Amino acid sequence: MFTGLITDIGEVTAMRRRGELARIRIACSYELDTLAIGASIACSGPCLTVVAAGADRRAWFEVEAAAETLARTSVGEWRPGRRINLERSLRIGDELGGHLVTGHVDAVARVLERGDSDGAARFDIAAPGPLARFIAEKGSIALDGVSLTVNSVWDAGFSVLLIPHTLAVTTWGERKAGETINLEVDLMARYAGRLLDKAH
């Protein structure tokens, strides 16, 4: 479980494919002795398991992404040099400053438009059809692993407004129209929708 509050920006340094499995090395600023094998780290949204760790000039860890992850997220598009948002899993007693994020990406969405003003940026996002009903104005959503508040909603999409701080400490400062992002709808909205479906 995660909060959607990014604790580091990592960089993909290697990606090796073997059949339907991809092994990815990510350089980071975490202390090496805190990168436990088997630990879960949200990598721009998807929750991935650390399978190796070490250090060169920077600490690094490796994760493996299976066919399901490659098909349902943007991980398959990653290449060396790609910067990604990182968050380690929530521990009992940690402050829940964002919202509950599972790291289970629902779909890949697309940035329709970016508008900058006074250091902030508004992003219009295309909502994948089946997920639109889970996205509500002033509700929470995780985009590339970042907990954000939905600013407005319309039939085919929604918008979010990012303050300068968020643009500076995540990869959102680099995002532009046409790019794909990992989308996870709010956990509570998903369960509420499921209960409504069962009631009919």
pLDDT digits (tens, 9 = 90+) for 53-76: 999 999 999 999 999 999 999 999
Q: Mean pLDDT in the chain? A: 92
Candidates 80, 97, 4, 96; CA nearest to 45 is 4
Domain count, the chain: 2
CB 179 within 8 A of CB 111: yes
Phi and psi at 159, nearest 5°, equal: -130, 155
CB 121 within 8 A of CB 114: yes
Q: The tokens 């508008």 sit on which residue? A: 115
Kindly state whether residues 177 and 134 are assigned to the same domain: yes
Residue 94 has pLDDT above 80, yes or no: no
pTM: 0.92
Confidence of residue 100 (pLDDT cuts 50, 70, 90): confident
Kindly state whether residues 114 and 193 are assigned to the same domain: yes
Residue-number span of the structural domain to which 159 is assigned: 107-199
Kindly state whether residues 24 and 57 are assigned to the same domain: yes
Which of 67-71, 165-169, 190-194 is predicted least confidently? 190-194
Q: For residues 128 and 9, give the distance between their C-alpha atoms in angstroms, rounded to a whole number.
A: 26
Kindly state whether residues 128 and 174 are assigned to the same domain: yes
The CATH number covering residue 62 comes to 2.40.30.20
Kindly state whether residues 72 and 138 are assigned to the same domain: no
User: Which residues are identified as catalytic?
Assistant: 2, 40, 47, 49, 66, 104, 149
